[in-house]
Structure 1
Amino acid sequence: MIDWILSLPLVPGVALLWLVVLCRAGGTYLLGRGAHRLAHRGRLARLVESPSVERAIGIVNRYGAPVVALSFLTIGFQTAANLSAGLTRMPLVRYLPALVVGGFAWALIYATVGLAVVVAWIELFLVSPWVAVLVLVIVLAVVLGLVRRRRRRRAEEGAEQEVVSPADPPGPAGMRGRSLPRSDDPASRTP
């Protein structure tokens, strides 16, 4: 089985993964773009008001398309960056090159390093299933610990921030008295 996995051609694998990421990330962008007007209602408001999306909106507005391209090299920020690009209505002439370049980097990494990790784990499992399961449990525990620590740190930072006056009427995405900034608006960028 391992020989079969290792014999798969790299170019078609990268191409398939690239197509998958273009559809997934592009769909997330389109979802954000279509949801721009509905960003102050119901479940969508909770998603847009989430700390990761609000942080991503700020970063995308500040640095633009390169953030979208680099987001493909992260875990967890990628979806928020693409959704934020759509919510802020980043123009397609800026978004598409970032999607193509970042998506290609993601596909190349997952087709090479990702596949090598999977093959190594399968080989370990064939030699010693208990050790392979133990390694998987340890990796999951470390990842969950890091996620928990990061969330705790963000919650502490959020508690320290200044409380917004309840007299201000809420706007879209929970930003009191403001609407979502547009990424193509030069005034929305911070120097």
Structure 2
Amino acid sequence: MTEVVRAYGLDGLPLGALLVVLLVVVLARSHATYWAGRAVARGARYEGERRHGPALWQRTVDRLARFATTPLARTGLRMVHRWGPVAVTFAYLTVGVQSAVFAAAGLLRMPYLRFTVASLPGSLAWALVWGTVGMSAVWGALALAAGSPWGLAVLVAVAVVVTGVAVHARRRRRAAPAPATTATSAR
């Protein structure tokens, strides 16, 4: 476990302190994503000094506005529509839809207190999993790979393949034509 604590630059801190740090980090990330979703829903615009370009916040809101039209965002919206705050809680234990669910909660203007209450058990579980099992597995895999040149080669090959598949899938989604919608009106 000391390798995990050292990996976070928190050498010498007890596991409880590490978990608190992870909890704060995950809460900050999820709540920032929620508020960016609220800003997109509100149509927020940065009205500050123009000569320095858009602020980081505006770039984040603009990026989330573009993201809101993707299939992943629609998945997050469906989850929040169907499950409400429960989707927020369990999103912390998923891979790939966390940000979509948090942003969807903001886009749908879920009351902040409800979002916060739903995010606490999920973020606690996330911090516990990553602070113990998750980071131990990551560092164990890296130590195994570093101990063997073949292990390192396999780890790099797997990373290259996973990255290639992800990039290819993303390009296919972007290149795919939008489904045509036809509206027929009954008069």
Whether TM-score is above 0.5 comes out as yes
Residue 110 of structure 2 aligns to a residue whose secondary structure is coil
Is the alpha carbon distance of 1:58 and 1:122 closer, same or farther for their aligned partners in structure 2, counting shifts above 3 Å? closer
1:94 matched to 2:114? The reply is yes
User: Hey, what does 2:102 align to over in structure 1?
Assistant: 82
Counterpart contact for 2:73–2:101, Cα < 8 Å: yes
Counterpart contact for 2:5–2:15, Cα < 8 Å: no
Counterpart contact for 2:4–2:131, Cα < 8 Å: no
Separation in 1 of the partners of 2:5 and 2:109?
A: 44
* 1:67-114 CA-partner distances (Å, limit 9, x unpaired): 111111111200110000000000123211111111111111111112
The two structures have a TM-score, normalised by structure 2, of 0.70
* 1:107-128 CA-partner distances (Å, limit 9, x unpaired): 1111111221233134324422
User: Hey, what does 1:18 align to over in structure 2?
Assistant: 23
Counterpart contact for 1:38–1:44, Cα < 8 Å: no
Please show how residues 12-161 of structure 1 align to structure 2 within 5 Å.
12-38=17-43, 44-128=64-148, 130-141=149-160, 143-144=162-163, 147=166
Separation in 2 of the partners of 1:14 and 1:160?
A: 43
Separation in 2 of the partners of 1:21 and 1:10?
A: 16
Separation in 2 of the partners of 1:90 and 1:8?
A: 36
Residue 110 of structure 1 aligns to a residue whose secondary structure is helix
Q: How many residues align?
A: 163
Structure 1 spans left out of the alignment, 5+ residues: 168-191
The offset of 1:159, in angstroms, is 6.6
Counterpart contact for 1:124–1:131, Cα < 8 Å: no
Tell me which of the two structures has the higher relative contact order, counting C-alpha pairs closer than 8 angstroms and 6 or more residues apart: 1
Is the alpha carbon distance of 1:116 and 1:42 closer, same or farther for their aligned partners in structure 2, counting shifts above 3 Å? closer
What is the percentage of aligned positions where both structures have the same residue?
36
Structure 2 spans left out of the alignment, 5+ residues: 45-60
User: Hey, what does 2:56 align to over in structure 1?
Assistant: none
User: Hey, what does 1:164 align to over in structure 2?
Assistant: 181
Separation in 2 of the partners of 1:73 and 1:142?
A: 24
Runs (4+) of structure 1 exceeding 3 A deviation are 1-8, 41-45, 141-155, 158-161
Is the alpha carbon distance of 1:122 and 1:143 closer, same or farther for their aligned partners in structure 2, counting shifts above 3 Å? closer
Residue 132 of structure 2 aligns to a residue whose secondary structure is helix
